[in-house]
Structure 1
Amino acid sequence: MKRQTVMIVDDTPANIEILSETLGEEYELFFATSGADALELIRADKPDLILLDIMMPGMDGYELCSILKGDPATRDIPIIFVTAMIGEEEEIKGLELGAIDYLTKPISPHIVRARVKNHLELKRYRDLLETLASAADRAKKEFLRSVSHELRTPLTPIIGMTDLVLDSEEDDNKRKYLTMVQKSALRLLGIVEDLIETSRLEGEGTAPEYRPFLLKAFLDTVAMEARTQAEGKGLDFMVTLDPALPEAVSSDQAMLHKVLTMLLGNAVKFTTAGKISLEVHLQEVAGEQMLQFSVADTGVGIDPADLERVFSDFTQSDGSITRSFPGLGLGLTLARRMTELMDGSIWAESSPGGGSLFQMQIPLLLPESESADAPPASDGVRQ
């Protein structure tokens, strides 16, 4: 097995010598006598663990630790501070910066070996778990991809043949049973399509295709589809548009349509009485213009503790709701992933029995020509 690596950062040669004698037989060691040199070496050849002196000229240990923990490429490397300072304030500061432990000077070889060994064992197990989790995730995605396509293949002729028989069948009882088969097959097909879309979005290279389109006409289409579903359940449906909305925007129209359809479909699904509303307006966030879409309902609502969880794979807010409103719970997961691909964000506000409000923001991109009649653009201009 390849020896684990330890980086020793200390401006005192005597300390480096003691640590080297203590650890050299078990680990591959690297050395640096300044924070700046250490930073360069760590970024070039990431060690398994860092022993870091605090008091050094120029860049001290606290500053180096802060830089390493702020960099995604090095933030997971365990850091143990080696210092003569053992005051509570200094200890708290180091732990808050992300260090995992302290070694005090004068250095005790037995304590150094024990603590380094323990922390490297923990890191080895953590790395192994991350590797296993990554492999399991890849296997899950491949399984979902394969099974989804295999399920869709027989469903298509089932639905098609059911349509043909329904067109020619005159017996009311038989038509009722065939209609039940048709609805069940279509519901299953919808679940399969969600699984396929989930697998596609998790694949590499998935990116939005930004093209200009007329915003109001697009929203009219989305609203018409949702209104039909809502009125079919006896629900009121309302649309409110900000007068300041631009005539044309640039976005991935298919993704945006999918997200809004999912949010509105969920609102209808979990509402048995009352109303559904869609509001679209401009919102400035940190100096950037955003398009904000709000979908509200008067449905069953969600426990506040479940609001974050509902955007995770295969999740609905609780078992009783799942039994009453069946589904895999992939809709909001897809909505979140598509929104994030469009550099946006999505969140929910709700309470049990008090309805739900789902809000999505994406950057406002205007077509370069300021007109949706212009040739499709590969990207928009962020205002």
Structure 2
Amino acid sequence: MKRQTVMIVDDTPANIEILSESLGDDYELFFATSGADALELIRADKPDLILLDIMMPGMDGYQLCGILKDDPGTRDIPIIFVTAMIGEEEEIKGLELGAIDYLTKPISPHIVKARVKNHLELKRYRDLLETLASAADRAKKEFLRSVSHELRTPLTPIIGMTDLVLNTEEDDNKRKYLTMVQKSALRLLGIVEDLIETSRLEGEGMAPENHPFSLKAFLDTVTMEAQTVSSAKGLEFRAAIEPCLPDAIIADQGMLHKVITMLLSNAVKFTPEGEVAFEVSRQEVAGESMLQFAVSDTGVGIDQGDLERIFSEFTQSDGSITRSFPGLGLGLTLARRMTELMDGSIWAENRPDGGSIFQLQIPLVLAETMPGAVASAPAAGVKG
């Protein structure tokens, strides 16, 4: 087994000699007599642990520790300070910088061996846990991918065949049961599609495909789809779209459509009666132009403590909602991940008079007017 490595950083040769004699039989040792030299060596070949003197000319131990802890590539290396001054103020300062322990001078070989051994064992177990967690995560993603595709394959002909039979069947009782089968298959297909999308978004190198498109045509499509779904459930639908929005923008049109559709579908799903509203506006946030979409409803609302949790995997606001509105709770997780890929933000709020509001913001990147684009956006206050 490869021996673990320890970097000793001290400007006093006598201290290096004592530490070397204490640890040389058990570990691979590297040495540096200044903070600058140590930084160069550590970045070239990361050790498993660092023994770091505080009082050194030039870059002292505190400065070197701060640099290493600010660097994602070195921040996880355990650092033990070696010092003759160990007042409470100094100890707190070192621990706040990220050191895990202190050794005091004069150096005791037995204490050095014990401290280094304990902290390297802890690091070994932590590294092992991270490796196991990474392997488990990869296995989970592969399982989701495999199972999702296996489930989707038989669902497609089930949906197609029931649709074919429904077009020819005249018996009302049979049509009733066939419709139930088709709706259940479609719901299951939706869950499978969410699982596939989840595993796809968690893959390496996933990035949005940004292209110019007509914002008006896009909003017309979204509004028409939402109005159709809302009307089918007996809900009123209202769209309020700012009239001075740009003709064309640059974004991932497909990804944006999915996120907005998820929010609107959720609003319809969790609103037994009343209204679903869709508002679009331009906002200035910290000097940056943002395109903001708001989806509000008069539905069941969200527990205050769940406003953030609902964006986690397999989560709905509470058990009673899950029983009334079945599903895996993946939609909002997917919405957040896609929003983050678009450099946007998404959050939920409760309406004072009942129901909830979901806000989506993405950077507004203007494009030249698209061929055939109409200059004005849909009129505010569209109702259905």
- TM-score, normalised to structure 1, is 0.92
Counterpart of 1:371 (choices 363, 369, 372) is 369
Aligned pair in 2 of structure 1 residues 193, 103: CA closer, same or farther (>3 Å)?
Answer: same
* Aligned counterparts of 1:27 and 1:62: Cα–Cα separation in 2: 25
Structure 2 residue 97 is the aligned partner of structure 1 residue 110: no
User: Is the partner of 2:327 in helix, strand or coil?
Assistant: coil
Distance 1:107 1:353 in 2: 68
Higher mean C-alpha deviation, range 223-232 or range 118-127: 223-232
- The residue number in structure 1 matching 2:270 is 270
In structure 2, what is the equivalent of residue 330 of structure 1? 330
Counterpart Cα distance in 1 of 2:354 and 2:175:
39
What does residue range 155-194 of structure 1 map to in structure 2 within 5 Å?
155-194=155-194
Do residues 139 (structure 1) and 129 (structure 2) align? no
1:145 shift after superposition: 0.7
Mapping 1:13-24, distance limit 5 Å: 13-24=13-24
* CA shift in 2, pair 1:142/1:53, >3 Å: same
Between the aligned partners of 2:62 and 2:294, the Cα distance in structure 1 is 44
Give secondary structure in 2 for the equivalent of 1:365: coil
Q: 1:353 to 1:150 in 2, by over 3 A?
A: farther
Deviation of 1:304 after TM superposition, in Å, equals 3.2
Distance of 1:25 and 1:286 partners within structure 2: 57
1:101 Cα shift?
1.6
Residues 233 and 5 (structure 1 numbering): CA distance in 2 closer, same or farther, change over 3 Å? Answer: same
- 8 Å contact kept, 1:307–1:348: yes
1:343 is paired with a residue of what secondary structure? coil
Q: In 2, Cα distance between the equivalents of 1:57 and 1:109? A: 25
Q: SS at 1:366's partner residue?
A: coil
Kindly indicate whether the alpha-carbon contact (under 8 Å) linking 1:303 and 1:351 is maintained by their aligned counterparts in 2: no
Query: Using a 3 Å threshold, how does the CA distance of structure 1 residues 135 and 352 change in structure 2: closer, same or farther?
Result: farther
Indicate conservation of the 8 Å contact 1:303/1:352, yes or no.
Answer: no
**Alignment-derived partner of residue 377 in structure 1:** none
Q: Is the 8 A contact 1:302 1:352 kept in 2?
A: no
Instruction: Give yes or no for contact 2:351–2:357 (8 Å, CA) kept in 1.
Output: no
In 2, the alpha carbon distance for the partners of 1:184 and 1:53 equals 67
Q: Does 1:120 align with 2:129?
A: no
Partner of 1:256: 256
State whether structure 2 residue 349 is matched by structure 1 residue 349. yes
Measured against aligned partners, the alpha-carbon deviations of 1:234-257 in whole angstroms (never above 9, x if no partner) come to: 333222233442221001100000
Measure how far apart 1:4 and its partner are.
1.0
Report Cα offsets for 1:14-36 as digits up to 9, x if no partner: 22221111111111111112221
For the 8 Å contact 2:313–2:333, the answer to whether it is kept is yes
The separation in 1 between residues aligned to 2:54 and 2:365, in whole angstroms, is: 48
Residue of structure 2 in register with 1:52 after alignment: 52
**2:246 is aligned with 1:246:** yes
Alpha-carbon deviations, 1:106-162, whole Å to 9, x = none? Answer: 222222221211111111111111111111111111111111111111101100110
2:101 corresponds in structure 1 to 101
Deviates more, 1:300-309 or 1:189-198: 300-309
Q: What root-mean-square deviation, in Å, do the aligned CA atoms of Structure 1 and Structure 2 show?
A: 1.9
Partner of 2:70: 70
Q: Which runs of 5+ in 1 are unaligned?
A: 375-383
**Partner AA of 2:37 in structure 1:** D
Percent sequence identity is 84
What SS class does the counterpart of residue 194 from structure 2 fall into? helix
Alignment-mate amino acid for residue 260 of structure 2: L
The TM-score with structure 2 as length reference comes to 0.91
SS of the residue 2:25 aligns to: coil
Structure 1's 301 and 11: CA in aligned 2 closer, same or farther, altered over 3 A? farther
In 2, Cα distance between the equivalents of 1:14 and 1:287?
57
Could you say if the C-alpha distance between residues 353 and 133 of structure 1 is closer, same or farther in structure 2, counting changes exceeding 3 Å? Answer: farther
Distance 1:326 1:87 in 2: 59
Which residue pairs with 1:148 in the alignment? Answer: 148
Q: Is the 8 A contact 2:79 2:98 kept in 1?
A: yes
- Kept in 2: contact 1:208–1:342 (CA 8 A): yes
Once the two structures are TM-superposed, the CA of residue 274 in structure 1 deviates from its matched residue by 3.0
The letter for the 2-side match of 1:111 is I
Q: What CA distance in whole angstroms lies between the structure 1 residues aligned with 2:75 and 2:20?
A: 24
Give the total of aligned pairs.
372
The code of the aligned residue for 1:324 comes to S
Which one-letter code corresponds to 1:90 in the other structure? E
CA distance in 2, matches of 1:351, 1:16: 65
1:341-378 deviation digits (Å, cap 9, x = unpaired): 112222223489943222222222122xx22229xxxx
Distance 2:3 2:170 in 1: 78
More deviation, 30-39/128-137: 30-39
Letter in 2 for 1:154: P
Separation (CA, whole Å) in 1 of partners of 2:52 and 2:210: 48
Instruction: State whether residues 152 and 189 of structure 1, in contact with CA within 8 Å, keep that contact through their aligned partners in structure 2.
Output: yes
- In the alignment, the residues of structure 2 paired with residue 305 and residue 113 of structure 1 have an alpha-carbon distance, to the nearest angstrom, of 48
Deviation at 1:173, TM superposition (A): 0.7
Secondary structure of 2:359's match? strand
Paired AA for residue 53 in structure 1:
D
